[in-house]
């Protein structure tokens, strides 16, 4: 029930008093008329149920009617506020409309000037674009030629990579177990040390079976290189990143090893299995650098050509961006003009709609001016009815629940008693 705690407490007390009164009147009625009227707890519960049902129904009915009246008053009040707001808005919109017309006229003049400038720039950019395209074609042709020459060195690099891939860590483990590896293997490691710029013993020669052989540096450098677990990775890294730093002096130091008739993969494989891959790697590095020396000028030319091509392409991109910017600028101005015209039209339409709404609202307020007073009185009446509803429903339900068995005299007494 839509009542506060204070009214609930009063209602509970009233219901209890009514029930007590009925008990008293039942005894008095029995004494005077010898007729029994029973007011039991069930009667009291029926009284409460009846009150709850009737109060809710009547409260909802009154509240619904009051809500309709109040909504009508709110709408009339809101309509008046809306008219005042719309009048102010209309004045502001008329000012905006005048300013927008001036802005649009100025924009039209500006667009005419910018369109002419943009068209001139478009022609200039097209000329530059054609020139850069011709230069880029020339540079690209030179790049293709230089790349073709460099491809001659690729087989040597591939051979070097494959030769290293044929060697495993187990091959190095087997080699380390040899107290005195074959002389060819020692010289192969000396050649590897030359390429890696590792220190060697002073050069010398010794006679073996009637022939002069280069004195090896196995104990000085080769054994350490063979024992290093990272040797293979270092050689791969050298082949990828440092091969182009092999100089003329290094090549000259390699020649005595390469000239020896047993410095071949076949002889090395017979001497120590897959370690022969190092022999092939040394020869491949030597072969590569000799080809690279011939190609070096062309490689430099390729480097310069690549830079020129990059610059040319950048310039071309910049010019294309400039052309796109200019084209977009012309389009943007035209789009802006269309948008400004649309805004101006929207302002005009909005001002017209606002005036029509204001006129309609004024007409409605004038037509309902008499209803406002009547609705106001009704709203106040509903407030009073809702405030009295608790007691009125309680008395009505008490009469229905208890007074039926009594005669008219006692009914009148009960109504008078409970009303006071």
Q: What is the pLDDT of residue 187?
A: 87
Q: Note the pLDDT tens digit of each residue in 14-30.
A: 777 777 777 777 777 77
Q: What is the pLDDT of residue 387?
A: 72
* Domain boundary residue, one of 311, 336, 360: 311
> Taking the CA of residue 235 as centre, how many other CA atoms within 13 Å lie in the half-sphere pointing to its CB?
29
Beta-ladder partners of 212:
207
Q: Is residue 57 part of a domain?
A: yes
Query: Using alpha carbons only, what angle is made at residue 255 by residues 215 and 194, rounded to the nearest 5 degrees?
Result: 65
Max mean pLDDT among 131-140, 235-244, 317-326 falls in 235-244
* Domain boundary residue, one of 249, 281, 311: 311
In the structure encoding, which two tokens stand for residue 377, read together?
């009185």
CA–CA distance, 265 with 202 (Å, rounded to integer): 26
- Are 203 and 279 in a shared domain? yes
- Are 151 and 30 in a shared domain? no
Overall average pLDDT of the 270-279 stretch: 81
Q: Are 348 and 93 in contact (CB under 8 A)?
A: no
* Domain boundary residue, one of 311, 343, 368: 311
- Are 249 and 174 in a shared domain? yes
Q: What is the pLDDT of residue 176?
A: 75
CA–CA distance, 132 with 140 (Å, rounded to integer): 12
Q: Are 293 and 150 in contact (CB under 8 A)?
A: no
CA–CA distance, 265 with 272 (Å, rounded to integer): 10
- Are 190 and 292 in a shared domain? yes
Q: Are 183 and 213 in contact (CB under 8 A)?
A: yes
What 3-state class would DSSP assign to 35? coil
Please give the residue that has the higher pLDDT: either 205 or 228: 228
- Are 139 and 280 in a shared domain? yes
Q: Is residue 198 part of a domain?
A: yes
Say what the pTM is: 0.42
Overall average pLDDT of the 262-285 stretch: 83
- Are 157 and 262 in a shared domain? yes
What 3-state class would DSSP assign to 101? helix
Q: Are 191 and 280 in contact (CB under 8 A)?
A: no
Residue where the block lists tokens 């590896």? 181
Overall average pLDDT of the 236-249 stretch: 83
Q: Are 194 and 253 in contact (CB under 8 A)?
A: yes
Beta-carbon contacts of residue 357 (< 8 Å; ≥ 6 apart): 82, 86
Range of the domain at 222: 134-311
Residue 2, pLDDT > 60, answer no
Residue whose C-alpha is closest to residue 59's, from 401, 383, 379, 398: 383
Overall average pLDDT of the 94-98 stretch: 80
- Are 151 and 242 in a shared domain? yes
Mean pLDDT in the chain?
A: 77
Q: Is residue 125 part of a domain?
A: no
CB burial class (10 A; 0-12, 13-18, 19+) of residue 301? middle
Overall average pLDDT of the 225-233 stretch: 82
When pLDDT is cut at 50, 70 and 90, the band that residue 153 belongs to is low
Query: Please, what sign has the CA dihedral across residues 96, 102, 105, 110?
Result: negative
Q: What is the pLDDT of residue 71?
A: 82
Q: Is residue 129 part of a domain?
A: no
- Are 275 and 140 in a shared domain? yes
What 3-state class would DSSP assign to 178? coil
What 3-state class would DSSP assign to 149? helix
Q: What is the pLDDT of residue 359?
A: 76
Residue 233, pLDDT > 80, answer yes
- Are 81 and 163 in a shared domain? no
Residue 185, pLDDT > 60, answer yes
- Are 93 and 138 in a shared domain? no
Q: Is residue 333 part of a domain?
A: no
Q: Is residue 339 part of a domain?
A: no
Q: What is the pLDDT of residue 160?
A: 65
Q: Note the pLDDT tens digit of each residue in 379-411.
A: 777 777 777 777 777 777 777 777 767 777 776
Stretch (H or E) spanning 208: strand 205-208
When pLDDT is cut at 50, 70 and 90, the band that residue 419 belongs to is low
Q: Note the pLDDT tens digit of each residue in 79-88.
A: 778 778 877 8
Q: What is the pLDDT of residue 156?
A: 66
CA distances from 70 to 30, 135, 208, 304, 369 (A): 52, 84, 126, 88, 15
Q: What is the pLDDT of residue 228?
A: 81
Q: Is residue 116 part of a domain?
A: no
Query: Using alpha carbons only, what angle is made at residue 138 by residues 136 and 141, rounded to the nearest 5 degrees?
Result: 105
Residue 257, pLDDT > 80, answer yes
- Are 360 and 302 in a shared domain? no
Q: What is the pLDDT of residue 369?
A: 65
Residue 247, pLDDT > 80, answer yes
CA–CA distance, 229 with 240 (Å, rounded to integer): 19
Q: Are 302 and 143 in contact (CB under 8 A)?
A: yes
What 3-state class would DSSP assign to 348? helix
Q: What phi and psi values does residue 179 have, to the nearest 5 degrees?
A: -70, -35
Q: What is the pLDDT of residue 370?
A: 65
When pLDDT is cut at 50, 70 and 90, the band that residue 209 belongs to is low
Q: Are 66 and 386 in contact (CB under 8 A)?
A: yes
In the structure encoding, which two tokens stand for residue 180, read together?
């005195």
The total of structural domains in the chain comes to 2
Q: What is the pLDDT of residue 125?
A: 74
Q: What is the CATH number of the domain that holds 216?
A: 1.20.920.60
Query: Using alpha carbons only, what angle is made at residue 226 by residues 221 and 230, rounded to the nearest 5 degrees?
Result: 110
- Are 294 and 177 in a shared domain? yes
Residue 294, pLDDT > 70, answer yes
Q: Is residue 88 part of a domain?
A: yes
């Amino acid at each position: 029930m839509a009542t506060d705690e204070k009214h609930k407490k009063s209602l509970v007390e009233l219901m209890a008093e009514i029930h007590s009164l009925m008990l008293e009147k039942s005894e008095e009625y029995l004494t005077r008329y010898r007729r029994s009227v029973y007011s039991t707890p069930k009667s009291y519960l029926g009284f409460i149920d009846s009150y709850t049902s009737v109060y809710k129904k009547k409260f909802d009915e009154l509240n619904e009617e009051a809500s309709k009246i109040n909504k009508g008053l709110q709408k009339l009040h809101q309509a008046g506020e809306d008219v005042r707001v719309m009048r102010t808005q209309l004045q502001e919109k008329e000012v905006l409309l005048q300013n927008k017309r001036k802005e649009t006229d100025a924009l039209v003049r500006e667009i005419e000037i910018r369109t002419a400038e943009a068209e001139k720039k478009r022609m200039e950019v097209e000329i530059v674009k054609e020139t850069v395209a011709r230069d880029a074609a020339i540079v690209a042709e030179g790049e293709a030629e230089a790349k073709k020459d460099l491809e001659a060195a690729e087989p040597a690099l591939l051979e070097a990579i494959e030769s290293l891939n044929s060697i495993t860590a187990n091959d190095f483990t087997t080699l380390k177990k040899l107290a005195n590896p074959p002389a060819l293997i020692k010289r192969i490691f000396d050649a590897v040390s030359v390429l890696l710029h590792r220190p060697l013993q002073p050069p010398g020669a010794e006679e073996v079976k009637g022939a002069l052989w280069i004195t090896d540096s196995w104990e000085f450098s080769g054994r350490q290189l063979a024992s290093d677990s990272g040797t293979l990775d270092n050689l791969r890294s050298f082949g990828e990143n440092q091969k182009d730093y092999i100089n003329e002096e290094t090549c000259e130091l390699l020649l005595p090893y390469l000239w020896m008739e047993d410095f071949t993969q076949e002889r090395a494989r017979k001497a120590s299995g897959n370690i022969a891959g190092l022999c092939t790697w040394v020869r491949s590095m030597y072969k590569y650098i000799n080809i690279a020396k011939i190609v070096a000028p062309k490689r430099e030319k390729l480097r310069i050509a690549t830079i020129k091509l990059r610059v040319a392409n950048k310039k071309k991109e910049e010019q294309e961006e400039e052309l796109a910017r200019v084209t977009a600028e012309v389009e943007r101005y035209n789009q802006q003009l269309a948008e400004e015209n649309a805004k101006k039209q929207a302002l005009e339409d909005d001002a017209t709609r606002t005036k029509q709404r204001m006129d309609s609202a004024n007409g409605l307020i004038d037509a309902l001016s008499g209803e406002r007073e009547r609705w106001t009185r009704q709203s106040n009446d509903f407030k009073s009815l809702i405030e009295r509803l608790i007691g009125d429903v309680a008395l009505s339900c008490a009469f229905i629940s208890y007074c039926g068995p009594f005669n008219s005299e006692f009914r009148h007494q009960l109504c008078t008693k409970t009303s006071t």
